[in-house]
Amino acid sequence: MAPDDSAEAIEIRLVLEAIHARYGYDFRGYAADSIARRVKATLAKSGFAHLGELQHRLLTEPSLFKTIMEGLTVQVSGMFRTPAFYRAFRNNVVPILRTYPRLKIWHAGCATGEEVYATAIVLAEEGLLARTQIYATDISEAALEHAREGVYSNEVLEEAIVRYSEAGGTGTFEQYCARGYGRVAMRQDLRRNAVFFRHDLVNDYSLGEMNVVFCRNVMIYFGVNLRERVLDMFARDLAQGGFLCLGASEGLPASKVPAFGPFAPSERIYRHRGES
């Protein structure tokens, strides 16, 4: 598809170029319609007159960048989001993970951390958490701070109680958190073996050999070429026989069939074949 050469589309591309040149964050490979909507929404919230002013202020006022950055990144997560996925992970993936003495799991694009804690709960119930190192990464420092704190709204708790049960939980969700003052704090031991740090899937390094990579509902915002690059990185990072877990609306391109075979394809769980 030919690029949109309207004046607005060109201005949006110039804003993204300015962000990349000034701050090193690269949104240029994101899906064009998605990133355009976020740039325009950011402009509307900023109060600036036009995209040209937004670009200029970004270049000349670094203090604005943190606020602008939060508008451009998508931070959507949920505790036990898609319960059927977690049931499949527990029933089909966990028995294989149990055969390994040590486990390394990467939550790529962890947002505010709800899915990291959901995974930790499953691993705890299956007796695997103590031997698992979880790497939880995101491009947004604000989201990572929220994830590290592990404190959420009561609405998250009410939703999680239902989803936890649907996902095959063996206890009660309330045993994994403390409730008070309208907030819910996740239990400290759930994050004892988790590290949260900034990582940009577009530009940053691989993390090394992993047994599982979660990247759920992240690549739906990427353009085709960027999606292929990220999947190539996951193929390099996963141990042979390791698992790639994608979001419910994400599929595996045909070009990646040599690297990943279907394992629980209806829940978007794939197994690394050892090829890249």
Residue 32 pLDDT > 90, yes or no?
no
> What local confidence, expressed as pLDDT, does residue 276 receive?
54
Tell if the pTM clears 0.85, that is, is over it: yes
Between 4-8, 74-78, 134-138, 258-262, the lowest mean confidence (pLDDT) is in: 74-78
Nearest to 190 by CA among 108, 126, 116, 138: 116
Alpha-carbon span 93 to 95, nearest angstrom? 6
Give the pLDDT confidence of 144-184 residue by residue, as tens digits.
999 999 999 888 888 899 999 999 999 999 999 998 888 99
> What local confidence, expressed as pLDDT, does residue 4 receive?
66
> What local confidence, expressed as pLDDT, does residue 155 receive?
85
Residue 248 pLDDT > 50, yes or no?
yes
> What local confidence, expressed as pLDDT, does residue 65 receive?
86
Our CA angle for 192, 119, 271, nearest 5°, is: 120
Residue 111 pLDDT > 80, yes or no?
yes
> What local confidence, expressed as pLDDT, does residue 250 receive?
86
Residue 5 pLDDT > 80, yes or no?
no
Give the pLDDT confidence of 54-109 residue by residue, as tens digits.
999 989 988 888 888 877 876 667 899 899 999 999 999 999 999 999 999 999 99
Tokens of 184: 């819910």
> What local confidence, expressed as pLDDT, does residue 156 receive?
85
Residue 270 pLDDT > 60, yes or no?
yes
> What local confidence, expressed as pLDDT, does residue 47 receive?
85
> What local confidence, expressed as pLDDT, does residue 1 receive?
47
Pair type for strands 210-215 and 132-138: unpaired
> What local confidence, expressed as pLDDT, does residue 3 receive?
60
Which residue would you say has higher pLDDT here, 135 or 217?
135
Give the pLDDT confidence of 188-235 residue by residue, as tens digits.
999 989 999 999 998 888 888 999 999 998 888 888 899 999 999 999
3-state helix/strand/coil string of the chain:
CCCCCCHHHHHHHHHHHHHHHHHCCCCCCECHHHHHHHHHHHHHHHCCCCHHHHHHHHHHCHHHHHHHHHHHCCCCCCCCCCHHHHHHHHHHHHHHHCCCCCEEEEEECCCCCHHHHHHHHHHHHCCCHHHEEEEEEECCHHHHHHHHHCEEEHHHHHHHHHHHHHCCCCCCHHHHEEEECCEEEECHHHHCCEEEEECCCCCCCCCCCEEEEEECCCHHHECHHHHHHHHHHHHHHEEEEEEEEECCCCCCCHHHCCCEEEEEHHHCEEEECCCC
> What local confidence, expressed as pLDDT, does residue 70 receive?
78
